[in-house]
């Protein structure tokens, strides 16, 4: 059992576990709720914190509470229809503008690099400071040119980096935020005449005499290099530190995400088409890309806006004809205990009552993958339909002493419902 638990824990990321624990503690300790919870208590909990917490934060809390109920074998109260309606009401009555880091412009990146270069040429500069400067320069340049997130930078291993001098470098990262299957991905960064990430990396690794381990480890005040990578939060502090050193306006508004947004802004200004930019950065949908692009561009931004406008015009011309969406359903049922024999019954009920009315098609013989076709008028009506459908499925599973993991995906847009 210990081995099973070890692999189960490995399948859940540390940050996810911490987030779930924090959600449960917030519900119990801060609000005074009891577990297992009822749908009414969850709704009251949401209403209590609606004026003070962002909707995204409330959804994260619900995910943690839902995970606790699933793990303990209790019905999940967060999937109740009126809980979903409360969430929609909060979004309507308490709109929250998402805070975004300022994009680091290419000119500002050059200013930071020049500042670091000037410090490195000082004859009396201490070795410990030189190591930190070299490490931070490599981190900032690689983070910018590869549009990496902070956690992705901290996962880079030296043995997973291949450098071709004067040409470029390949960086393999075993997993990232969007790599749910943990298959890993190889990223390529070019060698450049200025602000070169390849040169910065080789200079840093050479000075630190590193051959394996994290590419960006911690360095203490005596110049000792740690065996562990810096924490992702430290990447935020590093970027802010150099923005303050060179006295950039509103320096405190920069963070590790400024590198990612900065590259997207630069690439957009250089005329990168949307598809190429999405593939390079790793975005799955146009909406994600639009959040990062700040400056208008006649090719990328205008093209995306035209697509949106054309879609709106087409909908008007169709006079609100129903939209047919082919959706993929992933369904996993497990009994609450090994003595339960109602899993197959629950599966058949879900197929007959929930999926068959939507032209269900089995994709595999195991009964885990299905396709359904849902007619709807717009995105809101589709959300409401799928919310109700998911609730019915969870209710059937609960009534038959089963735990249900279900996810519905639109393969056209990669939008998920679960």
323-417 has the same fold as 2-93: no
pLDDT tops 50 at residue 313? no
Reading across the β-sheet that carries 415-417, which strands appear in turn?
361-362, 369-376, 323-335, 402-410, 415-417
Q: What is the pTM of this model?
A: 0.55
Radius of gyration, alpha carbons of the chain = 25
Domain 323-417 homologous superfamily, CATH: Reverse transcriptase/Diguanylate cyclase domain (3.30.70.270)
Please list, residue by residue across 145-166, b when 16 or more beta carbons sit within 10 angstroms of its beta carbon and e when fewer do.
bbbbbbbbbbbbebebbebeee
Q: Give the separation between CA 118 and CA 122, rounded to whole angstroms.
A: 7
pLDDT at residue 11 in the model: 46
User: Which residue is listed with tokens 């146009």?
Assistant: 286
Q: For the segment 46-69, what is each residue's pLDDT rounded down to a tens digit?
A: 899 888 888 878 888 888 888 888
Where residue 242 falls among pLDDT bands split at 50, 70, 90?
A: very high
Q: Give the separation between CA 16 and CA 153, rounded to whole angstroms.
A: 19
Q: Give the separation between CA 337 and CA 329, rounded to whole angstroms.
A: 25
pLDDT at residue 56 in the model: 79
User: Which residue is listed with tokens 């809390």?
Assistant: 61
pLDDT tops 50 at residue 235? yes
Please list, residue by residue across 243-279, b when 16 or more beta carbons sit within 10 angstroms of its beta carbon and e when fewer do.
beeeebeebeebbbbbbbbbbbbbbbbeebebeebbe
Q: What DSSP element (H or E) covers 226?
A: strand 225-229
pLDDT tops 70 at residue 310? no
Contact 175, 155 (CB under 8 A): yes
Higher pLDDT, 279 or 210: 210
Where residue 322 falls among pLDDT bands split at 50, 70, 90?
A: confident
DSSP-assigned letters across all residues of 3-61: HHHHHHHHTS-HHHHHHHHHHHHIIIIIS---SSPPHHHHHHHHHHHTTTS-HHHHHHH
The verdict on whether omega for the bond into residue 38 sits within 30 degrees of 0, i.e. cis, is: no
Mean pLDDT for the chain overall? 81
Q: For the segment 324-376, what is each residue's pLDDT rounded down to a tens digit?
A: 889 898 888 888 766 567 788 888 888 888 888 888 888 887 778 889 888 87
Q: For the segment 370-406, what is each residue's pLDDT rounded down to a tens digit?
A: 898 888 777 777 888 888 888 888 888 878 878 888 8
pLDDT at residue 8 in the model: 47
pLDDT at residue 196 in the model: 92
Q: Give the separation between CA 233 and CA 146, rounded to whole angstroms.
A: 19
Sequence ranges of the domains in the chain: 2-93, 106-267, 271-320, 323-417
pLDDT at residue 162 in the model: 92
Q: For the segment 87-125, what is each residue's pLDDT rounded down to a tens digit?
A: 888 888 877 655 667 888 999 999 999 999 988 887 555
pLDDT at residue 12 in the model: 46
Reading across the β-sheet that carries 168-173, which strands appear in turn?
161-164, 168-173, 185-190
pLDDT at residue 316 in the model: 53
Q: Give the separation between CA 251 and CA 224, rounded to whole angstroms.
A: 29
pLDDT at residue 315 in the model: 47
- Two tokens at 244? 């303050």
Q: Is 195 helix (H, G, I), strand (E, B) or coil?
A: coil
pLDDT tops 50 at residue 297? no
What percent of the chain is modeled with pLDDT above 90? 18
What lies within 8 Å, CB to CB, of 157 at 6+ separation is 172, 212, 213, 214, 215
pLDDT at residue 145 in the model: 92
Q: Give the separation between CA 279 and CA 129, rounded to whole angstroms.
A: 37
On whether the 106-267 domain is CATH 1.10.600.10, my answer is no
Where residue 213 falls among pLDDT bands split at 50, 70, 90?
A: very high
pLDDT at residue 96 in the model: 62
Per-residue pLDDT averaged across 292-300, rounded? Answer: 48
Q: Is 112 helix (H, G, I), strand (E, B) or coil?
A: helix
Q: Give the separation between CA 334 and CA 318, rounded to whole angstroms.
A: 44
Q: Give the separation between CA 197 and CA 141, rounded to whole angstroms.
A: 5
Where residue 156 falls among pLDDT bands split at 50, 70, 90?
A: very high
Most confident of 1-10, 186-195, 271-280, 381-390: 186-195
pLDDT tops 70 at residue 305? no
What's the CATH fold of domain 2-93?
A: DNA polymerase; domain 1 (1.10.150)
What percent of the chain is modeled with pLDDT above 70? 81
- Two tokens at 259? 């590198």
Where residue 14 falls among pLDDT bands split at 50, 70, 90?
A: low
Q: Give the separation between CA 377 and CA 324, rounded to whole angstroms.
A: 9
């Amino acid at each position: 059992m210990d081995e099973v638990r070890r692999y189960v824990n490995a399948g859940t990321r540390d940050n996810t576990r911490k987030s779930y624990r924090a959600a449960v503690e917030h519900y119990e300790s801060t609000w005074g709720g009891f577990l297992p919870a009822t749908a009414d208590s969850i709704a009251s909990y949401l209403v209590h914190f609606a004026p003070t917490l962002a909707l995204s934060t409330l959804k994260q809390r619900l995910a943690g509470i839902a995970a606790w109920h699933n793990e303990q074998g209790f019905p999940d109260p967060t999937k109740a229809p009126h809980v979903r309606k409360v969430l929609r009401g909060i979004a309507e009555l308490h709109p929250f503008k998402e805070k975004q880091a300022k994009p680091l412009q290419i000119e500002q990146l050059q200013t930071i690099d020049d500042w670091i270069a000037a410090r490195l040429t000082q004859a009396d500069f201490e070795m410990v400071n030189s190591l930190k400067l070299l490490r931070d320069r490599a981190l900032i340049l690689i983070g910018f040119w590869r549009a990496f997130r902070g956690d992705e930078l901290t996962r880079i291993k030296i043995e997973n980096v291949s450098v071709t001098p004067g040409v470029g470098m390949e960086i393999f990262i075993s997993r990232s935020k969007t790599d749910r299957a943990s298959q890993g991905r190889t990223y390529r960064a070019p060698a450049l005449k200025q602000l070169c990430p390849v040169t910065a990396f080789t200079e840093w690794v050479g000075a630190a005499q590193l051959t394996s381990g994290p590419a960006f480890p911690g360095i203490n005040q005596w110049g000792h290099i740690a065996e562990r990578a810096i924490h992702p939060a430290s990447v935020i502090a590093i970027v802010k530190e150099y923005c303050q050193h060179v006295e950039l306006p509103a320096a405190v508004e920069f963070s590790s995400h400024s590198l990612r947004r900065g590259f997207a802004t630069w690439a957009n200004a250089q005329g990168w088409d949307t598809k190429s930019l999405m593939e390079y950065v790793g975005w799955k949908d146009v909406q994600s890309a639009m959040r990062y692009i700040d400056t208008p561009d006649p090719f990328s931004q205008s093209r995306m806006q035209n697509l949106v406008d054309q879609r709106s015009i087409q909908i008007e011309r169709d006079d609100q004809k129903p939209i047919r969406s082919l959706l993929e359903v992933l369904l996993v049922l497990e009994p609450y205990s090994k003595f339960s024999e109602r899993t197959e019954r629950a599966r058949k009920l879900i197929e007959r009552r929930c999926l068959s009315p939507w032209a269900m098609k089995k994709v595999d013989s195991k009964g885990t993958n299905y396709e359904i076709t849902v007619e709807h008028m717009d995105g809101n009506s589709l959300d409401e339909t799928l919310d109700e459908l998911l609730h019915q499925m969870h209710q059937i599973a609960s009534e038959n002493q089963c735990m249900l993991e279900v996810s519905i995906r639109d393969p056209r847009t990669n939008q998920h419902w679960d």
